[in-house]
Amino acid sequence: MGAILNTLFKILILVLLVTMIYNLVLAMRQMIKKPDGEQKMSKFIGRRVMLSALIILLILIGMATGVITPNPRPF
């Protein structure tokens, strides 16, 4: 059960990372296409910031609950 939860948690974080990168690409395309498209570009950038905060929050919750464990110290 723990391994399945661990895997699902990591898949969720991966999906959120891919969605964040997708929103970054959409904002870049909007910036290149229309110089007056700041309204739409800021929407994509805002989504990316929200997803970044959500990813950090999920990682902290996962570490606090023991679902994911950080790498051991390198020395």
**Tens of pLDDT along 36-73?**
656 677 888 888 899 999 999 999 999 999 888 888 88
Higher pLDDT pick, 15 / 39: 15
Range of the domain at 56: 2-65
Q: What DSSP string runs through 8-74?
A: HHHHHHHHHHHHHHHHHHHHHHHHHH-TT-HHHHHHHHHHHHHHHHHHHHHHHHHHHHTSS-PPPP-
pLDDT on residue 31: 81
Tokens of 60: 């902290």
pLDDT on residue 64: 92
Q: Is residue 43 part of a domain?
A: yes
| pTM, entire model | 0.79
pLDDT on residue 54: 94
Give how many domains the chain has, as a whole number. 1
Q: Is residue 71 part of a domain?
A: no
